[in-house]
Copies of this chain bind each other. A is one copy, B any other.
Amino acid sequence: MSENINTWLSQINNDYKAALSVDCVIFGYTDADLYVGTIKCNMPPYEGLPSLVGDLVRPDENSDQAVNRIIIEKTGFKNLYFEQVHTFTNIDRHPLGRVVSIAYFSLIKLDEYQRAESSNTKELNWINLNENFILAFDHNQILEKCITQLRDQIKDRPVGFNLLPKKFTINQLQELYEVILQIKLDKRNFRRKLLSLGILSDIKEFQTEVSHRPAKYYSFNKQLYDKRKSDGFLF
């Protein structure tokens, strides 16, 4: 930091301060498509446009806590996985003054969201990422960065596992990869690869009430993952 405490104390006042906000890119996915959850912006000059879900970070919380709060508020999900992506600091990014925004992404299975959607959760508008659309503020830019990051991450980190229910089938995992990366994967190769990583636990459960051969459920084994990570690499 600066060499002099006094410099600090004086600078830290007034216009050296900024409002701190977080913006969440909440991805929602179905069998076929990837969406982003938005709300309607009511601030000129962006009135009426969709915007990402965000809020100011309160004085008594850090940004992760703020994100957690917002996600619970908007989706009702209490332990959703999320990651910090990038911080946007352009001086004119917000009409009301200097607002710095820390961008996060998260991901949710859309039919679970709809099933869970309860009395008190505010409704999100889901926009299909295959369409073109304009968001308020610099939110298109934020969204782009988050999409890129999500795609990069999923290729060499088990982000996908954090994003699925505790138990899932290999095919569900594959669908998630396909939707995120927008490519078609080979069933056999995908299964072989993922199982060979040795980070999935066979929990000896099967689907029920499906009108076809029931699939085996697996869960993500974090211990094995951490162990393997400390040895060498992964994926």
Contacts and interface: CB of A to CB of B under 8 A. Distances in A.
Contacts of A97: 12
Contact of A90 (B19, B54, B62): B62
A17 interface: yes
A4 B96 CA distance: 13
Given A9-B96, A20-B89, A89-B102, 6 more contacts: A2-B54, A5-B42, A8-B43, A8-B56, A63-B89, A64-B89
A57 B89 contact: yes
A91 interface: yes
13 contacts: A1-B41, A1-B43, A1-B51, A1-B137, A2-B54, A11-B56, A17-B19, A59-B91, A62-B90, A63-B87, A87-B87, A87-B102, A100-B100
A84 interface: yes
Contacts of A41: 1
Given A63-B87, A87-B87, A12 B19 contact: yes
Given A87-B102, A91-B61, A16 B16 contact: no
Contacts of A209: none
B51 A20 contact: no
Nearest to A92: B62
A222 interface: no
Interface in A15-37: 15-21
B59 A15 contact: yes
Interface residues of A, number: 46
A178 interface: no
Interface in A131-166: 136-137
Interface string A180-220: 00000000000000000000000000000000000000000
A39 B87 contact: no
Question: Considering the complex of A and B, which 6 residue pairs feature the smallest CB-CB distances, nearest first?
Answer: A17-B17, A63-B89, A62-B89, A15-B59, A87-B87, A12-B19
A18 B21 contact: no
A2 B56 contact: yes
Contacts of A90: 62
A226 interface: no
A8 B96 contact: yes
